[in-house]
Structure 1
């Protein structure tokens, strides 16, 4: 019988580079593409690869992630599938929070219920990609690897902040450097001209293999490699194993985006509005799963849209949209213009009683009011933007802040449940 494969999805740290999107939620719980959450991507990749024993390790701002997973992923009792949440916990052996990716897995090894010859697939919870893990696992078994690391060939100018590796022709890893900053070190890890020539790049460009943060471990090797005080896979565990066990690379050729910053999150969402998006939500063989909400179809009372995504339960009235992602239950009123906007929507509809209360509280209704002009912005869930509001990050310094509006990485953000009064100009 083939060895069992258990999947472990990392819930991420504090997510400071995604703040303020992570001020009340962890990174995997951040809304994506109008109706999904980031964590839906790795879970869906697992399920589409026939892997249904999945653990999600969580620690910071976990309530919304837990609720989403519990409401989205329910399995029958006969298939043996599950998506279980493992939160940081105090035990007789220790009372510390997860100190890093390796420490988080170490603290939960006793929950995995796997034998030494089983496999553990470790995944990140904040990346956008579609991968057939069957191919990675098959290569891992065929090459008799102890650890297989998924890698993406990227230009040497694009790999700042990523772990890099150098491999032989058989994909065995000969060198691994975690997040190098020295251009000479990066250049020394570049792929050979023969390999580079097989990539769809411009002539003369140099490529290097970047660590995607996806690891397939033999359980015995994983257990032994964590029998120490190492806290991080990329910084400590993998370099320590180099030369001691069979480390192999698995080259992934599809689209992959690490959603680590506000800018990368913003651009990844807007790229989905392209005529041919880099990530395909419409592939019948690679569906992306999420919570079933039973929303009404969106109601359009006049809309000039050039490129965009419109989720369910929205009410749009006489607006102009250009490159927008509009999330569930969004309300946008007449005369409003969006250009390069990601609007996350709302968790519930407002009724007449709510709108009367809003008048008493002198606050706008949930959504966007009349005659507004908003560009290069993210509007987080539950935001209330009044009439005649103009919002743009143009000319604003990074970390500019005014009320519930923040500018970060060149993107303007209206925070979750934020209020922007009538007539505001930023």
Structure 2
């Protein structure tokens, strides 16, 4: 009998997604209008029949704990669990996770109590839809100790990824971590026979690690019997020399959404006529917290290449190339162009709005006549009337102010921020 434990690596501080990670763990960052980043790997596991899932994290875990505990509840007949393991002090360890491998090592005693035969290691900040059952089947058939999911890439995209060197049988001879744009990596090109066998497109000459691994339980224990902190930089290169490490070629859509630019562009792409990642695939749905919200109400607005999540009230002028999150409020005459507004956690009552007026505070959402372009609006933000955000192109690519941030040329209004009437950013 086989027993597979799925381990989702939630990452550390999530500095590349800051300020979206200022008050929440990276896996808890809202995605796609109604989901969280952690829903992607968990849904892939559930859809593939793997229901024993741990999520490892260590920063700002409260909202992640709430999301997982209120979303993933398996009945006693089907079995399974989704459990968050935050960094903890024990008699053996009293420090933080030092890297991906260190996080798994420090939780080994939790895993061993489950008596797994295999581990599936997944990343918490990637966008993909993958048949993990097929991935595991190929691992078992190959007789490998470790199998690494790999995606074909061109030379430009290989810069910041771990590149694999294969033989004609699919085994990995060498691993090169983030070669950069200038290094000659021709020796890492996919062999012609391998390229033909796997039907890899001609313009993609390299295989990059997706950060998704299957380990035989014994192989993982041996691979972690050291002080190495990271899988990609240290454990995998070491195991290539000592174990049978194989690549599983995945040719579907895969994107690292751990940076502000990738996160922003991946979200907006969901609203295009033919998105790279299809939210409407009911054979492989993305699961998330059930909210029981009413349908969105559009009183007046021009929508073009846009998605509106449930529970929103929209009175704006136009919403173009944008995502509207749950319980979003877009007031009269407001315009959104290339914007992801994450919505709100609650509705304001008439009494709340009277208090707002008395103290000069804007209501939740996008105020009347406000224009917003190329921005991420975090949860429960209050933007006043007649503001101009991102409309003028003379702002810096990276900047930090009291009520907003700019990262990669994208304006970010952090959670619960208040932007007064007439503000220009």
TM-score by length of 2: 0.96
Shift of 1:188: 2.8
Aligned-pair Cα RMSD in Å: 1.5
Distance 1:182 1:5 in 2: 38
- 1:136-215 equivalence runs, <5 A: 136-181=135-180, 183-193=182-192, 198-200=199-201, 205-215=203-213
Gaps in structure 2 of 5+ consecutive residues: none
Distance 1:91 1:266 in 2: 39
Q: Is the 8 A contact 1:116 1:218 kept in 2?
A: no
Q: Is the 8 A contact 2:159 2:181 kept in 1?
A: no
Distance 1:411 1:195 in 2: 40
Match of 1:302 among 297, 300, 303: 300
Look up the SS of the partner of 2:110 in the other structure: helix
Look up the SS of the partner of 1:158 in the other structure: coil
Match of 1:291 in 2: 289
Match of 2:214 in 1: 216
Look up the SS of the partner of 2:242 in the other structure: coil
Mean CA deviation greater in 230-239 or 162-171: 162-171
Shift of 1:358: 1.4
Q: Is the 8 A contact 2:41 2:122 kept in 1?
A: yes
- Does residue 267 of structure 2 align to residue 269 of structure 1? yes
Shift of 1:116: 7.4
Q: Deviations over 1:47-104 (max 9, x none)?
A: 0000000011110111111110011101112322100111111111120111110010
Match of 1:43 in 2: 42
Distance 1:404 1:314 in 2: 24
Q: Is the 8 A contact 1:56 1:83 kept in 2?
A: yes
Shift of 1:196: 5.1
Shift of 1:278: 0.8
Look up the SS of the partner of 2:98 in the other structure: coil
- Does residue 326 of structure 2 align to residue 325 of structure 1? no
Q: Deviations over 1:196-250 (max 9, x none)?
A: 573345xxx3521111110100000101111111110001100111121100001
Distance 1:425 1:182 in 2: 38
Q: Is the 8 A contact 1:114 1:219 kept in 2?
A: no
Look up the SS of the partner of 2:105 in the other structure: helix
Shift of 1:156: 0.9
Match of 2:349 among 338, 348, 351: 351
Match of 1:369 in 2: 367
Distance 1:206 1:331 in 2: 44
Mean CA deviation greater in 34-43 or 178-187: 178-187
Match of 1:391 among 380, 385, 389: 389
Aligned residue pairs total: 422
- Does residue 62 of structure 2 align to residue 63 of structure 1? yes
Match of 1:412 in 2: 411
Q: Is the 8 A contact 2:7 2:53 kept in 1?
A: yes
